[in-house]
Structure 1
Amino acid sequence: MRFILYNIRYATGRRAHDYFRPSRKNLGRITSFLREQEPDLVGLIEVDQGSYRSGGKNQAELIAQELGHYHAHSVKYGEASLWRNIPVLSKQGNAFLARDKIRGTTFHFFEQGMKRLVLELELDHVVVFLVHLALGSRVRHQQLGALYNLVKKTRKPHLVAGDFNALWGEEEIELFLAASGLQNANHRRLPTFPSHRPQRHLDFVLYSRGISVRDIQVPQVLYSDHLPLVVDLDVEVGREKRRWPRFGRKRGSAA
């Protein structure tokens, strides 16, 4: 299984002054990169779901159509949040793109923080949680506690992935790893931020028992202020491990 985690910054590029500019051209670059990687599953952080930047189009849907993937997405703010009523911000969210048909999608929301969404995706043999944690350390730690309470209920092999905003890298989430039993796929602690001169390990793909990591790459692509994580995994199915072939696969249809 090839899983890609990518904070795409609404496809506005890596420079601060481009944040509110149209994103069509850069979204095309991101889409081409993802197509070349042939992922089975993609977790996208900071997706524009239809503001003027994307010409009123949902970026997750556009990429899914190009890849032939199914998709699931949601606004990242709480269901009663005032942020949902503010132009541009009301269209900001996270998304999954999946080659295989999605069995179930659940939208959880933290009780603390501005960005509250926990997007839970269930496939046949694996469950994946996608998060974008708070910038403030106190709220971030509260969110990690709530995330642990969600994850511990999961019976299938599972991944927890996202932009953790962990300014001190893995040291900041050691308690979460110890309590959950999850392991960091990025065992070399390769930095992912900022993309032009990476120094910080902010983006994580964590995996449970029943999953093993074959390879991890951090491609040096400058389409966002973050670098993507490309992780090749094997998932246990009964006593065997399921291996997704890398070439010659049929693509599904977006839904």
Structure 2
Amino acid sequence: MLSANIQAGSSTRGYHDYVARSWSHVLPAGNKRGSLDAIAQLAGQYDIVGLNESDPGSLRSGFTNQTHYLAERGGFDYWSHQPNRRVGGVASSANGLLAKLEPREVLDHSLPGRLGGRGVLVARFGNEPDALLVAVAHLSLGASSRASQLSFIAELLHGHSNAVLMGDFNCPIDRPEMLQLFKRTRLQPPDHDTPTFPSWSPQRAIDHILVGDGLRCSEPQALAAAFSDHLALSVNLDVPEQALA
């Protein structure tokens, strides 16, 4: 399983690039296609991949649905995306899901927050009550908005032992809003932090893959996702057979 904020295929190799290469966030320029090919090569090694900041087909991506492109290049039979943010009519952003297993159901939910445009994508991979649930989210920068968003997600995942929540949380595990999530769901905090931001000098653990107490997983590993400003996060997940039946 892999979680990656792909920054719409843009390249950021230092803080100076946020200014010097700001044009790449609104224009279809730079080697975005090459970055996507590198991300697809990485993603193709996994069975389920969650994406943040995948452009669903705006000007800056050359009107390419990047989730679909990665699905084709990475060898995924199933994909879904949730467009959730538009910037000035020239850029758009989405949560995405790539899967080599067929999901039985995929739902998208808008998340609350002071500013709109955030969402969570939820896929169910089995028919039983204890089916594997995989949720992909990109949370707000503000703590109060994150708290309301995590409260909403907690309602969705409450009581599910075979649940996974992954994405860019924009905060470390020890924040009060995260502690409330663990109290209200069966998701478990990781044993230690895995810094993912910024990718060129990782200091902050703000991307997470959280799993329920019915699942076992390896220690997370941080991996470069082309030239995104976030490192990707991967785990090996041991899923009970009945969770996929």
Tell me which interval the TM-score lies in, with the shorter structure as reference length: 0.7 to 0.9
1:150 — aligned with what? 156
**Aligned residue in 1 for 2:25:** 19
Cα shift at 1:20: 2.9
Q: Over aligned residues, Cα RMSD in angstroms? A: 2.0
- Provide the aligned length of Structure 1 versus Structure 2: 225
SS at match of 1:135: coil
Partner Cα distance (1:26, 1:222) in 2: 5
The residue that corresponds to 2:189 in the other structure is 184
Alignment-derived partner of residue 111 in structure 2: 110
Q: Following the alignment from structure 2 to structure 1, what is the Cα–Cα distance between the partners of residues 154 and 120?
A: 12
CA offset digits 1:191-250 (Å, max 9, x no partner): 000000011011011111220013421124552000000110101234xx98xxxxxxxx
Tell me the equivalent position of 2:8: 10
The reply on whether 1:227 has 2:231 as its aligned counterpart is yes
Distance 1:54 1:221 in 2: 17
In structure 2, the partner of 1:119 is 121
Relative distance call for 1:221 and 1:108 in structure 2 (3 A) is closer
SS in 2 for 1:219: strand
Q: Distance in 1 between matches of 2:10 and 2:90?
A: 13
Q: 1:88 is matched with which residue?
A: 90
- State the distance in 1 between where 2:225 and 2:35 align: 12
Q: What is the rounded CA distance, in whole Å, between the counterparts of 2:214 and 2:112 in structure 1?
A: 30
SS at match of 1:50: coil
Distance 1:94 1:88, change over 3 A: farther
Map 1:208-227 → 2, pairs under 5 A = 208-227=212-231
Distance 1:76 1:205, change over 3 A: same
* CA distance in structure 2 between the aligned counterparts of 1:229 and 1:72, rounded to whole angstroms: 20
**Residue 47 (structure 1) aligned with residue 50 (structure 2):** no
How many percent identity over aligned positions? Answer: 30
**CA–CA separation in structure 2 for the residues paired with 1:207 and 1:227:** 19
Counterpart Cα distance in 2 of 1:189 and 1:61: 31
| Residues 158, 184 of structure 2: 8 Å contact kept | no
Q: Which runs of structure 2 are paired with 1:160-171 in the superposition (5 Å)?
A: 160-166=165-171, 169-171=172-174
1:30 aligns with 2:35: no
| Counterpart Cα distance in 2 of 1:157 and 1:65 | 28
- Find the aligned partners of 1:208 and 1:45 in 2 and give their Cα distance: 21
Question: Which amino acid in 2 is paired with 1:30?
Answer: I
**Structure 1 stretches (4+) deviating beyond 6 angstroms?**
none
Three-state SS of the structure 2 residue aligned to 1:30 is helix
| TM-score normalised over the length of structure 1 | 0.81
Matched-pair contact (CA < 8 Å) for 1:42–1:96: yes
Contact 2:95 2:120 in 1 (8 A): no
Letter in 1 for 2:141: L
Cα distance in 1 for residues equivalent to 2:224 and 2:108: 31
Question: Structure 2 counterpart of 1:13, which letter?
Answer: S
AA partner of residue 11 (structure 2): G
- Deviation sequence 1:33-64 (CA, Å, 0-9, x none): 223xx100000000011112222110110110
Structure 2 unaligned spans of 5+: none
1:190-209 equivalences under 5 Å are 190-209=194-213
| Contiguous gaps of at least 5 residues in structure 1 | 78-82, 243-255
